[in-house]
Amino acid sequence: MLAGAACSAMSAEAAHTAVLVDVRARRLLAVRGRATAGRALLPPGSTLKPLVLSALMNLRKLTEQETFPCPGVLTIGGRSLNCSHPRIDVPMRVETALAYSCNCFVAHMAERFEPGELARQLEAMGLASPSGLLPGEEIAGRIAPARTPDAIRLQALGEADAAVTVAELALAYRLLAMHAHPAIVAGMEGAVQYGTAQNARVEGVSVAGKTGSVRSENGERVAWFAGFMPSRQPEVAIAVMLQGRSGGSDAAPVAGRMLQAYRVGRL
């Protein structure tokens, strides 16, 4: 894990930290927990998965047709990271792996990265640079080069060698909204429609999203949601972080309410 003072215990203000960005204009539309949004560095957990699979597809190391039968059981470096999704009787593909947040699929595909390659891809997405959305109030995320197979797999799952701010993650998802492969978008739509992120639904519009549930360096539970809306013609990208046990149960509802407020002009 990456160390740093910014990874210290989250304040009460961080109980609802969120950043909403205009996709076309790259403009901040709303922020909650402003100080935390640009200064708290925390592991992103499974919100990294769409970015990781996008990087593999952009590098031509993964196609949407590829499948992998999820064994359900995953141990990396002595850590148990078993999948929590229901048993799926058919092999996972990109779309279903994102919808159900399949650790086994992402860790398996991440083995295709060369040492340090994933870190370079994440840096190119802005996860090691202040977003510029909160001038004078931001620090840079930290992405360490993962060089061993276990380190690469842990980084791909957002569990190690990556610590980002909410503002950085919102901008990374803005880039994803503009350039994502259709299979990535479909998987994130599936997460909201039937997978881990159903609590982020907004009536009358399709949302693409991804949840994350992870522990900070000091053991606090961190819940994430990141996504964009409408999924096929994105107007806004969002990232939400709070103290909580589950991205799906704790962070996704916050994102849903914020996206709904945007949609009806009541931010």
Report the share of the chain in percent with pLDDT over 90: 87
pLDDT at 194 over 60: yes
CB 245 within 8 A of CB 223: yes
Block residue for tokens 């109980």: 15
SS3 175: helix
- Quickly state the pLDDT bin for 15 (edges 50, 70, 90): low
CB 49 within 8 A of CB 101: yes
Total domain count, the chain: 1
Better-predicted residue by pLDDT, 10 or 65: 65
Separation of alpha carbons 84 and 74, rounded Å: 11
Average pLDDT over residues 196-210: 97
pLDDT in the model for residue 256? 97
Closest by alpha carbon to 18, among 97, 133, 104, 127? 133
Closest by alpha carbon to 153, among 262, 12, 36, 49? 49
User: pTM here?
Assistant: 0.93
- Quickly state the pLDDT bin for 202 (edges 50, 70, 90): very high
What CATH number is associated with residue 18? 3.40.710.10
Average pLDDT over residues 182-209: 97
What does the pLDDT look like over 31-75, one tens digit per residue?
999 989 999 999 999 999 999 999 999 999 999 999 999 999 999
Better-predicted residue by pLDDT, 26 or 14: 26
Average pLDDT over residues 221-230: 97
Domain residues for the domain of 182 are 5-263
Average pLDDT over residues 7-32: 78
Separation of alpha carbons 252 and 256, rounded Å: 6
Burial bucket for residue 215 (CB in 10 Å: 0-12, 13-18, 19+): middle
Tell me the pairing of strands 17-22 and 27-32.
Answer: antiparallel
Longest CA pairwise span in the chain (Å): 51
CB 225 within 8 A of CB 198: no
